[in-house]
Structure 1
Amino acid sequence: MISSSTVVNSVVEKLRQALARGQWRSGEMLPGQRELAEQLGISRPSLREAVTVLETLGLVRSMPGKGVLVLDPELADPAQAADAGQAASLADVLELRYTLEPFIAGLVAQSAGNQEIGQLRLTLMDMREALDADDSEAGAAAYIAFHEALFALTTNPIFQSVVQQTSNALKQSTAMLHDSPEHLAARLAENEAVVRAIRSRNSAQASAQMRQHILAEGQRMGIELNIPDEGPGQ
């Protein structure tokens, strides 16, 4: 049986060669996920993970609701992408996420349209499929895709710069997400709670659910986050 990591690595190499040949040029969009997955004979979660690798290398950019944009290979800097992940520990990444993502979730609850919420739900469906298939790598890829889709729904350019660094660091740490099915099920349930709050336009609840999710992530990873006291008078 061929492992999913072997499949993903093979797809990454095929897509890199196709990009190098100019099959898709800078500024063009890759074919839709369903079409491209069928062409390559792989599942959508495996394709999503391969695209995540290509994005880390600076060759493409995922644009939720639009597709995958091909970037100029002359501007790609793999070393810089790798450094972004290596410079931060998991605790550093989680602390930044705890500070930033609850606020983003609250903003998204105020502004997201039905199409954007639908994109978030699609990534949750991929997580569900990975859980049902007991595919931890696909689950990790779908988990990252969910949070990237959420990041993309803020138009603040400063946020975009910061969350791109967070995303790169998280991609470099995916081994920590390849754990038990129970953990993937918990991540799915927590992210579903965030989306339910967003669909209800409940900004405060969306923020609170995301905050609880990141704290739970720290517990699952054995990381005690350095969170300041938030009680009155403290």
Structure 2
Amino acid sequence: MKNYELVLHRVEADLAAGRLRIGGRLPGERTLAEQLGISRPSVREAVRVLEAMGVVRTATGSGPEAGAVIVAEPESPLTAVLRLHLATNHLPMGDVVETRLLLESWAAREAAGRSLEAGELKLASELLDRMDDEGLSPEEFHLLDAEFHVALSGLAGNVLIAAVMASLRSAIHGYVLAAVPNLPDWEATVVGLRGEHRAILAAVRGGEPERAAALVAAHIRGFYQAAQLAGFSGDDKAE
């Protein structure tokens, strides 16, 4: 078993037992090394891997914010492996966009055809409400944006699609945030994004499969075209 897996299993066990909660801090480097029987450099490497996977957030120093804090529960083994691969391999942006077009348009079409209950749409709706806060920074907005797209894809009811989209979350957020400086008018863009998100969710809620799929595809293409990013021509097609 790899060292990062030892730390991951420790985090999973502590979460399950209630010894650790989201927002809680991992034990210190020396303590973990002694408890798990690995070296301190191995603990540091393991924590770096867990940070890349999105399980923990780290901060240096000795103050109250220092150390490794749990920011997400470990997900399924498949999702964890995918997230690790994506975090350690550079992906061409065009490939990320094309994958989003294929997965998200399919997921929106499927979700709109499922006659979803109001409760199933609650998370996506709440994320849109939070994105209406005009005080959000671009990073905060796009973190919520990425969460919305993951939640929307999860409504299709396909566990594998949901796992892949959850794994792509960091890559999506990274590329989208990098695009912000290229946008001619961030304030106008964010207003447009809010409206597009609302229209997509309305189409899913209203049971309009083809409209939902088309809106998602146009939404994804439109942002990258507006940002004029290299590696994306805007000619990608969602089948």
- Normalised by the length of structure 1, the TM-score is 0.63
Matches within 5 A, 1:1-234: 24-25=15-16, 57-59=53-55, 70-71=73-74, 80-83=85-88, 86-111=89-114, 112-129=116-133, 132-176=134-178, 178-179=180-181, 180-222=186-228, 223-228=232-237
1:4 match: none
CA 1:28–1:162 in 2, change beyond 3 Å: closer, same or farther?
farther
CA 1:170–1:69 in 2, change beyond 3 Å: closer, same or farther?
closer
CA 1:138–1:69 in 2, change beyond 3 Å: closer, same or farther?
closer
Q: Secondary structure at the match of 2:132?
A: helix
Identity of matched residues, %:
22
- Any unmatched runs of 5+ in structure 2? 1-9, 24-49, 57-70
> Is the 8 Å Cα contact of residues 221 and 234 (structure 2) preserved in structure 1?
yes
Q: Which amino acid aligns with 1:205?
A: R
> Is the 8 Å Cα contact of residues 94 and 214 (structure 1) preserved in structure 2?
yes
> Is the 8 Å Cα contact of residues 147 and 169 (structure 2) preserved in structure 1?
no
Kindly provide the CA deviation profile for residues 74-118 of structure 1, in whole angstroms up to 9, marking residues without a partner as x: 9967854512xx431222111111122111111111222211222
Q: CA deviation at 1:56?
A: 5.3
CA 1:27–1:204 in 2, change beyond 3 Å: closer, same or farther?
farther
Q: CA deviation at 1:199?
A: 1.5
Q: CA deviation at 1:172?
A: 3.2
Once residues 162 and 143 of structure 2 are traced to their aligned partners in structure 1, the CA distance between those partners, rounded to angstroms, is 20
- Normalised by the length of structure 2, the TM-score is 0.61
Kindly provide the CA deviation profile for residues 160-209 of structure 1, in whole angstroms up to 9, marking residues without a partner as x: 34323432321332432545122222211111110111121111111111
CA 1:143–1:28 in 2, change beyond 3 Å: closer, same or farther?
farther
- Any unmatched runs of 5+ in structure 1? 1-18, 37-53, 61-67
CA 1:206–1:118 in 2, change beyond 3 Å: closer, same or farther?
same
Q: Secondary structure at the match of 1:172?
A: helix
> Is the 8 Å Cα contact of residues 54 and 72 (structure 2) preserved in structure 1?
no
> Is the 8 Å Cα contact of residues 105 and 198 (structure 1) preserved in structure 2?
yes
Q: Which amino acid aligns with 1:194?
A: I
Once residues 159 and 89 of structure 1 are traced to their aligned partners in structure 2, the CA distance between those partners, rounded to angstroms, is 20
Higher Cα Rg, which structure = 2
Once residues 28 and 208 of structure 1 are traced to their aligned partners in structure 2, the CA distance between those partners, rounded to angstroms, is 46
Q: Which amino acid aligns with 1:195?
A: L
Once residues 172 and 128 of structure 1 are traced to their aligned partners in structure 2, the CA distance between those partners, rounded to angstroms, is 21
> Is the 8 Å Cα contact of residues 101 and 220 (structure 2) preserved in structure 1?
yes
2:36 match: none
